[in-house]
Amino acid sequence: MALDDTSLEIGKMDLGKLYRQETFTDLGLGSIQCLTPVTPDGAPDSERKAIFIGTAQIMTAHGPIPVQSEIKAGSIRAACEAFPQAMQDAVKELVEQARQIERERQGGIVIPRGGRLELP
Protein backbone atom coordinates (compact mmCIF):
# COMPACT_ATOMS: atom_id res chain seq x y z
CA MET A 1 0.00 0.00 0.00
CA ALA A 2 1.43 3.36 -1.02
CA LEU A 3 1.52 6.23 1.43
CA ASP A 4 -1.09 8.81 0.52
CA ASP A 5 0.40 12.10 1.69
CA THR A 6 -2.98 13.82 1.33
CA SER A 7 -4.26 11.79 4.30
CA LEU A 8 -1.19 12.42 6.45
CA GLU A 9 -2.17 14.57 9.41
CA ILE A 10 0.53 16.33 11.39
CA GLY A 11 -0.43 18.33 14.45
CA LYS A 12 0.68 21.85 15.26
CA MET A 13 3.54 22.76 17.57
CA ASP A 14 2.36 23.99 20.97
CA LEU A 15 3.73 27.54 21.08
CA GLY A 16 3.26 27.65 24.85
CA LYS A 17 5.67 24.74 25.39
CA LEU A 18 8.69 25.67 23.30
CA TYR A 19 12.23 24.92 24.53
CA ARG A 20 15.69 25.61 23.17
CA GLN A 21 17.89 22.54 23.47
CA GLU A 22 21.59 22.67 24.32
CA THR A 23 23.86 19.73 24.99
CA PHE A 24 26.79 19.78 27.43
CA THR A 25 29.33 16.96 27.56
CA ASP A 26 32.74 16.16 28.98
CA LEU A 27 33.35 13.93 25.91
CA GLY A 28 33.63 10.92 28.16
CA LEU A 29 31.18 10.08 30.89
CA GLY A 30 27.96 11.32 29.37
CA SER A 31 25.96 14.37 28.44
CA ILE A 32 23.40 16.72 29.88
CA GLN A 33 20.72 18.32 27.79
CA CYS A 34 19.47 21.69 28.97
CA LEU A 35 15.99 22.50 27.72
CA THR A 36 15.54 26.25 28.19
CA PRO A 37 11.95 27.50 27.92
CA VAL A 38 11.42 30.14 25.25
CA THR A 39 8.55 32.29 24.05
CA PRO A 40 7.17 31.87 20.52
CA ASP A 41 9.60 34.55 19.30
CA GLY A 42 12.59 32.63 20.75
CA ALA A 43 13.26 34.87 23.77
CA PRO A 44 13.89 33.19 27.15
CA ASP A 45 10.64 32.49 29.02
CA SER A 46 11.27 33.44 32.65
CA GLU A 47 7.88 32.03 33.71
CA ARG A 48 9.11 28.44 33.30
CA LYS A 49 12.17 26.61 34.61
CA ALA A 50 14.84 24.89 32.55
CA ILE A 51 14.78 21.10 32.35
CA PHE A 52 18.01 19.09 32.61
CA ILE A 53 18.25 15.53 31.24
CA GLY A 54 21.31 13.37 31.83
CA THR A 55 22.34 10.63 29.40
CA ALA A 56 24.99 7.94 29.82
CA GLN A 57 25.67 4.34 28.79
CA ILE A 58 26.34 1.36 30.98
CA MET A 59 28.31 -1.55 29.60
CA THR A 60 26.83 -5.01 30.05
CA ALA A 61 27.75 -8.48 28.85
CA HIS A 62 25.22 -7.93 26.04
CA GLY A 63 26.58 -4.54 25.02
CA PRO A 64 25.94 -0.93 25.98
CA ILE A 65 22.58 0.14 27.38
CA PRO A 66 21.56 3.81 27.23
CA VAL A 67 20.45 5.39 30.49
CA GLN A 68 18.56 8.66 30.65
CA SER A 69 17.00 10.59 33.51
CA GLU A 70 15.77 14.03 34.36
CA ILE A 71 18.08 15.84 36.76
CA LYS A 72 16.47 18.14 39.30
CA ALA A 73 18.72 21.20 39.19
CA GLY A 74 18.58 24.94 38.71
CA SER A 75 21.82 25.37 36.76
CA ILE A 76 24.19 23.39 34.56
CA ARG A 77 26.72 23.33 37.42
CA ALA A 78 24.14 21.83 39.78
CA ALA A 79 23.08 19.37 37.06
CA CYS A 80 26.71 18.25 36.62
CA GLU A 81 27.04 17.72 40.36
CA ALA A 82 23.75 15.77 40.51
CA PHE A 83 24.57 13.72 37.37
CA PRO A 84 26.19 10.68 39.08
CA GLN A 85 23.32 10.16 41.53
CA ALA A 86 20.68 10.67 38.83
CA MET A 87 22.35 8.04 36.63
CA GLN A 88 22.70 5.61 39.55
CA ASP A 89 18.99 6.04 40.34
CA ALA A 90 18.11 5.48 36.67
CA VAL A 91 20.20 2.28 36.58
CA LYS A 92 18.50 1.01 39.75
CA GLU A 93 15.13 1.65 38.13
CA LEU A 94 16.18 -0.22 34.97
CA VAL A 95 17.35 -3.19 37.05
CA GLU A 96 14.07 -3.25 38.97
CA GLN A 97 12.09 -3.13 35.71
CA ALA A 98 14.15 -6.04 34.35
CA ARG A 99 13.53 -8.03 37.53
CA GLN A 100 9.79 -7.33 37.30
CA ILE A 101 9.71 -8.54 33.69
CA GLU A 102 11.57 -11.70 34.74
CA ARG A 103 9.10 -12.33 37.59
CA GLU A 104 6.20 -11.93 35.16
CA ARG A 105 7.84 -14.35 32.73
CA GLN A 106 8.35 -16.94 35.44
CA GLY A 107 4.67 -16.71 36.40
CA GLY A 108 3.59 -18.06 33.00
CA ILE A 109 2.91 -21.58 31.80
CA VAL A 110 5.87 -23.96 32.15
CA ILE A 111 6.34 -26.93 29.81
CA PRO A 112 8.91 -29.35 31.27
CA ARG A 113 11.12 -31.57 29.13
CA GLY A 114 8.74 -34.52 29.44
CA GLY A 115 6.16 -32.56 27.46
CA ARG A 116 3.48 -32.47 30.16
CA LEU A 117 1.90 -29.12 30.87
CA GLU A 118 2.23 -27.87 34.45
CA LEU A 119 0.63 -24.73 35.75
CA PRO A 120 2.37 -22.82 38.49
How far apart are the C-alpha atoms of 30 and 93, rounded to whole Å?
18
Contact 49, 56 (CB under 8 A): no
How does pLDDT run along the chain (120 residues), one tens digit per residue?
556 666 788 899 999 999 999 999 999 989 999 999 999 999 999 999 999 999 999 888 989 999 999 999 999 999 999 999 999 999 999 999 989 988 888 876 655 666 555 555
3-state secondary structure of 63: strand
Contact 69, 79 (CB under 8 A): no
Contact 33, 68 (CB under 8 A): no
For residue 44, the number of C-alpha atoms closer than 13 Å in the C-beta half-sphere is 6
